[in-house]
Structure 1
Amino acid sequence: MTGAEPTPAPSVRGARHFFRASLTAGWRSWVSVGGVAVLAGLMFSASARLSDGGGASSRDPQDLAQLVDVETARVADLTERTSELDREIEVLSAHAGTAVPTPPAEQARREGVLSGSRPVSGPGLTVTLDDAPSTAVGAGPGGVEPQPDDLVVHQQDLQHVINALWSGGAEAMTLQGERVTSTSAFRCSGNILLLHGKVFSPPYEVTAVGDPAKMEASLDRSEGVQTYLEYVDWVHLGWDVRRSEHLDLPAHDGGGGLQYATVPEGTEVFG
């Protein structure tokens, strides 16, 4: 027929159909084989990672028996550490219930001596100072006549003696039998001595426990004591130093509290 494509013969159409069907079946087979290959590769890769000895997972047990062994060992370590901590707690608890240890006997004795709260015995010196006799007359150095104040023991005279004895290593001291402490303060008014609320008259006696030779040497080095000794030679002020092998000094019998002034409540200090 003119202008139309010739119709293939039946044999040709059958060949084409067979060829197309063969291609479709082959393509499906290749896809199936490829999928199986990919899955197999993924499985082999995962297996290789699990069995690899260099990865982070190699530090963990790969089976139940090994896991049990590892965890059992870890529990044993923790149990031992817990026991150690329990023992430390017991030791600390025992110390926490213990009273603060008292100072050694020598330290307690030393503190008592320094504070004056305990009596002291030992070798030492007794220094006595006294006013000049009323008959003391005569001109002093340079022809100077003595004045009434030159004939009595003054507060600074006692202070020079006490300071020299402390400097010479005195361990404890009394003035007029009263224990001298760090808070002791005496005052002279005329020839009257006020100490610890008590009134004393001359002669004044200072007693110190310590090395007698060292304390005597300290008295000799004191300028204030040497000035007093000049008046001893001039107006015959009393002066006597005696060594003793054994002296007993009493403890301070006063309280240790300090008294101080306070402003009455409601008083305006700054107007």
Structure 2
Amino acid sequence: MSQQPPDRSTPTPPPRPDASMSLLTNVMDHSLDDGYAEAAARRRTEGRSGLPSPLRAKLGLAGALLLAAVVVTLGAAQAQISAPTLAKERQQLIDRIERETSAADALQKNVDTLRDAVGTKQRDVLEKHGGDKADLVALLAGATAVQGPGVKLVVDDAKQTKQSGGGGPRESSGFSDTGRVRDRDMQRIVNGLWQSGAEAVSVNGQRLTALSAIRAAGDAILVDNRPLVPPYTVLAIGDGQQFANAFQRSADGLYLRALQQKYGVRYSISAQGEVRLPAAPSLIVRTAQPHEGGAAGRATDTGKGTS
């Protein structure tokens, strides 16, 4: 009878009692998946500030709008409260300006009246002491209106001239823009006309005499302390076209042309068949006295030239 060899194989362990419940075991071991974990972490982060980010942004915007509304409301209320006071002060300022303007107009009218009276007396004195040369003396002294052939010279600043500060080759008198006509330019122009044969000259309707002065006050050019505005119209009585040609050939005429070419200063000159010049408002002589012989030539210096 044959014997069976002994069985040396490893015995199979018995199955776990909960092997049939593997799904439930997995659920218990992994109660939160990755999505739930991320959501929980985000809630913990937002929980530190108490509110989600979109809600906080909306609340911040609402707070800013509320603050702006409060500021605008307070500003409007303050303006409404101060409006009557500002209106009152404004009206007081307007009334003061109107009063001062009326007073200045009255003073100017009085000055014009006195100037006319002085001019009339001066002309009477010239007629009384000048004899047969009274008209000539009055003409040379600028005490009477004159007319005759001559030239019309119009000078103006360069286009787009600025009024700002700065420095430059033509700015020693304080003018920043080299395209502006200055008082020294007008002095040279007028003196050039006298030298070229002018018998009478006016600038913007103001008659020049031997005592006239051309000066600057800020940006303005003054003739006998009266401000001028560009363009500057210079009328001069002389020998028509010959007079105009003589001025353009003179050193001062060439100076004016150089201003045009280098700095853009605008000018035009033309011969006129007749120009009319008014009388000078008044002549104030402080040191000269009439000669005992009655000649009026010493009463007023009739030499030409403008400073």
TM-score (norm 2): 0.44
Instruction: Pick the structure with greater CA Rg.
Output: 1
TM-score (norm 1): 0.50
